[in-house]
């Protein structure tokens, strides 16, 4: 018995899981922190964390550090809230070499691959994610295992399986859900399984051959069926949509989020603003600065042609959305940690928002408090406010002065526990982040 519990303890330490023995408060000291609610900057900062939450935050001069506190000093660093990414597929397989390699992936292998991706996401500074379509409910198993402390990962919200129509985005040749009755049943099935959101695919997508990216494929009565059932369960619906017409239809039927929005025009973006509908742009999937990713995964020509086809309009849609003040929450549609243009998918995505006209504060909000508002957890996380969960990352420099400081992220705390500290004496990290150019590590080769 004793041996077993010792081994479990060793495992827990190795994985950086929260340990009961670390129950004493932690005091983080840094050059400064950013209040993303106001844009205020606090220099010479102290944040005291106790029981997983922020107990006090302020300047060193007026924030007392408890005598029993464990100190984590981060000189020269700035503290910002843990990043959020609300368009993620932990089990993502894009067209390319992976599709062949993972063609026979078992459910067990899928869950383990997703768990690994969850841990890497956390290490990259992303403390909360929303999953927008997984398969076989492996996401629910992974989310529960993280909650139980079986392995480390971000806080997970999930739309479980996409509710789609036959021939719709993300589907195979299998019949799926056609007509309002089948959509109702499928929506109920996902909510029963534990979905926090419902994701519907109302237009074609880049990754599915056939079915136009800009064509509304789901019928109004089908969209309405999903919204009605979800609403009765207190769950919101978000829609994969490329088109303005399909988006207008969906928004008027009560859909609360639009994913991608490749061809959204000013008029429909104004409607979204008016109706408080969230826009999750996922710019990284269509912009040239991040094409290297597609080359690396061996994306086929037809896929690249579709990516290029939507890129120009997608960029215009984002710029217009920023001008119109549409609520934007960051989503990458790639693994949050995926190397892109010298940084991670999440951070590059935020940089796109800056390039499209957001201020540094707005771009930081799109990666922190805005997704928290979208997920309705802004009273729990999303800013470095007293009482909220201690989801905190550190970067070298003030991102409001130089947004690229986010690229130097090297410290990750979630719920008061340090999962990564590149600048500490004992780096809590046990699994390295992928290099800029990963090797073919997914081939089984013990030598
Ligand atoms: Zn997606």
Which candidate, 66, 44, 45, places its Cα nearest to that of 55? 66
Tens of pLDDT, residue by residue over 185-203, are 999 999 999 999 999 999 9
Q: What are 30's strand-pairing partners? A: 45, 74
Q: What is the mean pLDDT of residues 26-50?
A: 98
Residue 41 Cα to ligand 1 midpoint, Å, equals 34
Please tell me the distance between residue 95's alpha carbon and the centre of ligand 1 in angstroms. 13
CA of 202 to the centre of ligand 1 (A): 13
Kindly state the average pLDDT of the residues 148-158: 95
The pair phi, psi for residue 126, each rounded to 5°, is -95, 110
Residue 54 has pLDDT above 70, yes or no: yes
CA of 262 from ligand 1 middle (Å) equals 13
Q: How far is the CA of 153 from the centre of ligand 1 (A)?
A: 20
Give Cα separations from 37 to 280, 361, 381, 384 (angstroms): 20, 9, 12, 9
User: Ligand 1 centroid to 56 CA: how many Å?
Assistant: 38
Q: What is the pLDDT of residue 290?
A: 84
Average pLDDT over residues 10-21: 41
Residue, of 99 and 332, whose pLDDT is higher: 332
Regarding predicted confidence, which is higher, 22 or 145? 145
At residue 150, does pLDDT exceed 60?
yes
Q: Is the dihedral of CA 189, 195, 196, 200 positive or negative?
A: negative
Residue 295 is predicted with a pLDDT of 86
Per-residue pLDDT for 402 more than 90?
yes
For residue 31, how far is its CA from the centre of ligand 1 (angstroms)? 37
Q: What is the pLDDT of residue 211?
A: 59
Q: At residue 20, does pLDDT exceed 50?
A: no
Task: Tell me, in angstroms, the distance from the centre of ligand 1 to residue 8's CA.
Answer: 36
Find the helix or strand (DSSP H, E) in which 305 lies: helix 301-323
pLDDT at residue 11, as a whole number:
39
What angle (nearest 5°) sits at the alpha carbon of residue 89, between those of residues 293 and 155? Answer: 120
Q: How confident is the model at residue 172 (pLDDT cuts 50, 70, 90)?
A: low
Residue 439 has pLDDT above 80, yes or no: no
Cα 133 to averaged position of ligand 1 atoms, centre (Å) = 7
440 CA → ligand 1 middle, Å: 24
pLDDT band at 309 (very low <50, low <70, confident <90, very high): confident
* Interval between CA 130 and ligand 1 midpoint (Å): 11
The percent of residues in the chain predicted with pLDDT above 90, rounded, is 75
Give the angle 134-137-143 at the CA atoms, nearest 5°. Answer: 90
Q: What percent of the chain has pLDDT over 70?
A: 88
- Give yes or no for residue 21 having a pLDDT over 70: no
- Three-class DSSP category at 350: helix
Using an 8 Å Cβ cutoff, are 15 and 25 in contact? no
Task: Residue 374: count other Cβ atoms within 10 Å of its Cβ.
Answer: 27
Per-residue pLDDT reduced to its tens digit, 65-93: 999 999 999 999 999 999 999 999 999 98
* Ligand 1 center to 87 CA (angstroms): 6
* Mean pLDDT, the chain, whole residue set: 89
237 forms beta bridges with: 198
Domains and CATH numbers, the chain: 2-82+383-421 (2.30.40.10), 83-374 (3.20.20.140)
Residue 427 is predicted with a pLDDT of 53
Ligand 1 mean position, distance from CA 333 (Å)? 5
pLDDT at 27: 97
Does residue 212 surpass a pLDDT of 90?
no
Amino acid 293: pLDDT: 86
The CA angle 297-303-309, to the nearest 5 degrees, is: 130
Q: Is the pLDDT of residue 359 over 90?
A: yes
Q: How many whole angstroms from 60 Cα to the centroid of ligand 1?
A: 43
Closest CA to 91 of 121, 115, 124: 115
Beta strands in 206-267 (DSSP E): 236-241, 257-260
| pLDDT for res 426 | 62
pLDDT of amino acid 175: 63
What's the 281 CA to ligand 1 centre distance in angstroms?
10
Give the pLDDT of residue 4: 38
Q: Mind listing the pLDDT tens digit for each residue in 244-303?
A: 999 999 999 999 999 999 999 999 999 999 999 999 999 999 998 888 888 888 888 888
């Amino acid at each position: 018995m004793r041996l077993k519990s010792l081994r479990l303890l060793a495992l827990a330490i190795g994985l950086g899981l929260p340990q009961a023995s670390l129950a004493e408060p932690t005091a983080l000291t840094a050059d400064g922190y950013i209040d993303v609610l106001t844009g205020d900057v606090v220099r010479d900062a102290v944040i005291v964390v106790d029981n997983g939450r922020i107990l006090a935050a302020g300047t060193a001069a007026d924030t007392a550090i408890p005598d029993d506190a464990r100190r984590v000093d981060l000189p020269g660093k700035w503290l910002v809230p843990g990043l959020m990414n609300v368009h993620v597929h932990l089990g993502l397989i894009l067209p390319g070499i992976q599709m062949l390699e993972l063609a026979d992936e078992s459910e067990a292998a899928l869950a383990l691959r997703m768990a690994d991706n969850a841990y890497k996401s956390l290490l990259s500074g992303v403390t909360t994610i929303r999953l927008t379509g997984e398969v076989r409910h492996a996401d629910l198993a992974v989310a529960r295992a993280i909650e139980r402390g079986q392995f480390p990962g971000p806080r997970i919200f999930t739309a479980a399986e996409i509710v789609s129509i036959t021939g719709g985005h993300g589907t195979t040749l299998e019949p799926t859900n056609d007509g309002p009755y089948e959509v109702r049943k499928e929506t109920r099935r996902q909510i029963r399984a534990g979905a926090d959101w419902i994701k519907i695919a109302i237009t074609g997508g880049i990754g599915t051959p056939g079915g136009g990216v800009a064509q509304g494929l789901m019928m109004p009565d089908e969209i309405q069926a999903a919204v009605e059932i979800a609403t009765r369960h207190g769950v919101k619906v978000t829609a994969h949509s490329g088109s303005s017409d399909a988006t207008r239809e969906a928004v008027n039927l009560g859909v609360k989020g639009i994913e991608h929005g490749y061809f959204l025009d000013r008029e429909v973006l104004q409607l979204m603003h008016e109706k408080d509908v969230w826009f999750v742009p996922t710019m990284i999937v269509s912009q040239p600065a991040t094409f290297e990713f597609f080359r690396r995964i061996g994306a086929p020509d037809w896929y690249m042609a579709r990516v290029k086809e939507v890129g120009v309009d997608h960029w215009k849609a984002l710029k217009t959305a920023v001008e119109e003040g549409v609520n934007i929450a960051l989503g990458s549609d790639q693994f949050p940690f995926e190397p892109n243009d010298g940084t991670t998918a999440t951070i590059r995505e935020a940089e796109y928002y800056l390039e499209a006209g957001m201020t540094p504060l707005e771009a930081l909000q799109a990666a922190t408090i805005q997704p928290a508002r979208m997920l309705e957890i802004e009273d729990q996380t999303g800013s470095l406010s007293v009482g909220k969960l201690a989801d905190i990352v550190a970067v070298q420099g003030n991102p409001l002065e130089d947004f690229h400081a986010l690229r130097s992220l090297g410290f990750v705390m979630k719920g008061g526990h340090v999962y990564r500290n590149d600048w500490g004496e004992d780096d809590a990290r046990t699994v390295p982040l992928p290099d800029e150019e990963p090797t073919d590590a997914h081939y089984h080769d013990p030598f």
